[in-house]
Amino acid sequence: MKKTLTAIALALAVATPAMAELNVPNLSYRTGAYAANGIPYADGFNDYFTLLNERDGGIGGEKVAVPECETAYNTEKGVECYEATKGDGALVYNPLSTGITYQLIPKVTADGITLYTPGYGRTSAANGKVFANVFNYPANYWDGASIIIKDILSQNGDNIQGKKIALVYHNSAYGKEPIRTLQELAKKHGFEFVEVPVDHPGQEQKSQWLQIRRDKPDYVIMYGWGVMNAVAIQEAVNIKYPMDHFYGIWWSGSENDVLPAGDGANGYKMISFHGTGGDYPVYADLKQYVYDAGKAAGDGSNPGNVLYSRGMYAAMTISEAIRKAQELAGTSAVNPAQVRDGFEALNLTEERLTELGLPGFAQPISASCADHGGPGTAMIFQWDAAAKKWNQASDWIAADTDVIDPLVAEDSAAFASENNIAERCN
């Protein structure tokens, strides 16, 4: 009996993975209604850290451990994953879900861990004066809405007075985020704004697209995710909506979303805060150290696509912030508080991106105590159905800060007063 118990105890001890110095959990989802988009993102995230471990021996000589935890985009499971992983010294969380982000904002603030939400999450977390532990650079939902409107303006000679613009959105916290901004922009530019909500998970959109066919908006903007995107693009094709007047936010513009609609999706536009495609020099290293070594995450079919690039973008920013933290702290074994300082002091330059093998992949970021939101810029991409690739259709466009900044200040002030938070950085 005693022998058996010892054997079991030994087996448990062996089964527990060895503690790495840098722990960056990946709260991913590879199951459920949002899996099609969650898988490539998680693969990109894991592969980039695998590359750092294999090629450079980690960050600053410390190996990075990326334990994965399945959330299925479900907030309860997300909380479970957070609690399950934080005990191992987790440095940064990136849950890729606005719902889970809202759960975690108070928790990470209490636990002193960083929450990094590139392009999603709570928009007003861009205000570092209130949200000390949350970072959402390089761009947020409100920037996205403003950038799309700017592109529409440039298509119409800066005058969209009297035009009708519809927002097809996922009827959740995520989809509702841009409404305030678009209302303000509608006032400023004099266009008519129509809201068209789609309920989770979004497979049923017939009535919404009937409404669009009847209303004939000049432009349609989509804030969708998961299965909703592909269905919306197919429905738009069905009602013969002109694809080049149909814009998706960065979460509504992956290959998964446009491929099912075939040639009909040709000309569909989306915005992105990073480049896409497999032409960056870093892919040579990825091929050598990760794919060919048989260490790739998932089934290996995703490299180069939009969401894979975005997972890689998140991993790259996190690793650069950790590097900065190591530099500031003077030690390679950084703790969560030091990593938070690293995020706040992050200065990602064009030269550094070129060094990393990602020239022109992203915009430079220089964060500060008050600025956790980054430059707020993105590019427009257009889908070429024949070549099955995204073509860049614009240069970097900056958001309209005159409209966004007051909204961020207002929303974060409301959060601060609800939660008795004193402003920092003054």
Partner 1 sequence: MFYREAGDFKTSYVDDSQTFPIKFDRWRYYAVLAVAFGVVPFLINDYWANAVFVPFLIYSIAAIGLNILVGYCGQVSLGTGGFMAVGAYACYKLMTAFPEVSILIHVLLAGGITAGVGVLFGLPSLRIKGFYLAVATLAAQFFLVWLFNKVPWFYNYSASGQISAPERTILGHAVTGAQTTAQAKYLFCLVILFGLAWLARNLTRGTVGRKWMAIRDMDIAAEIIGVNPLTTKLSAFAISSFYIGIAGALFFSVYLGAVEVGEAFGIQKSFLILFMVIIGGLGSIFGSFAGAAFLVLLPVLLKNILVGQLGWATDLAAHIELMIVGALIVIFLIAEPHGMAQLWRLAKEKLRLWPFPH
Residues that bind partner 1 (CB under 8 A): 12, 15, 17, 28, 30-31, 35, 39, 68-70, 72, 74-76, 79-80, 83-84, 86-87, 98-99, 102-103, 105-107, 109-110, 122-124, 171-174, 176-177, 179-180, 197, 199-200, 407, 411, 414, 418-420
Specify burial of residue 348 (Cβ count, 10 A radius: 0-12, 13-18, 19+): buried
* Neighbour-count burial of 330, counting CB atoms closer than 10 A to its CB (0-12 exposed, 13-18 middle, 19+ buried): exposed
CB-wise, 8 or 333, nearer to partner 1? 8
For partner 1, the closer CB: 174 or 193:
174
Q: How far apart are the first and last CA of the chain?
A: 64
Residue 221 to residues 55, 197, 268, Cα–Cα distance (Å)? 41, 12, 11
CA gap 296, 336 in Å, rounded: 27
User: Shortest distance, CB of residue 179 to partner 1, whole angstroms?
Assistant: 8
Cα dihedral angle (374, 380, 381, 383), rounded to 10 degrees? 140
Q: Closest distance between partner 1 and the C-beta of residue 25, in Å?
A: 11
Report in angstroms how near the CB of residue 144 gets to partner 1 at its nearest: 14
Dig out the tokens for 163 from the structure.
């035009």
Q: Which candidate, 347, 386, 383, places its Cα nearest to that of 367?
A: 347
- As beta bridge partners, residue 198 has 170
For partner 1, give the closer residue by CB, 169 or 283.
169
| Phi-psi domain of 316 (left: phi exceeds 0; alpha: psi -120 through 50; beta: other) | alpha
How is residue 289 annotated by DSSP?
I
Smallest gap from residue 217 Cβ to partner 1 (A) = 21
Nearer to partner 1, 4 or 420 (CB): 420
Find the radius of gyration of the CA atoms of the chain: 22
Residue closer to partner 1 by CB (options 184, 235) is 184
Which residue spans within 206-337 are E strands per DSSP? 219-223, 246-248, 269-272
Q: Which is nearer to partner 1, 181 or 254 (CB)?
A: 181
Instruction: Compute the least distance from the CB of residue 355 to partner 1, in Å.
Output: 33
What is the closest distance, in whole angstroms, from the C-beta atom of residue 46 to partner 1 in the complex? 11
Q: What would the two tokens of residue 153 be? A: 């303006």
Of 1 and 12, which has the nearer Cβ to partner 1?
A: 12
Q: How far apart are CA 253 and CA 247, in angstroms?
A: 9
The DSSP symbol for 16 reads: S
Give every CB contact of residue 401 below 8 A, 6+ residues apart in sequence.
376
Structural tokens at position 61: 């000589």
Token pair listed for 263: 């040639």
| Residue number, 109 or 156, with CB nearest to partner 1 | 109
Q: Tell the smallest beta-carbon distance from residue 413 to partner 1 (Å).
A: 12
Question: Which two structure tokens, joined as six digits, stand for 85?
Answer: 């992983």
Q: How many Cβ atoms from other residues are within 10 Å of residue 244's Cβ?
A: 14
Q: How far is the CB of 78 from partner 1 (least distance, A)?
A: 10
Residue with smaller CB distance to partner 1, 98 or 305: 98
C-beta of 31 vs 335, nearer to partner 1: 31
For the CB of residue 170, give the shortest distance to partner 1 in the complex, in Å. 9
Least separation in angstroms between residue 17's CB and partner 1 is 8
Question: Pick from 147, 134, 119: which is nearest to 41 by CA?
Answer: 119
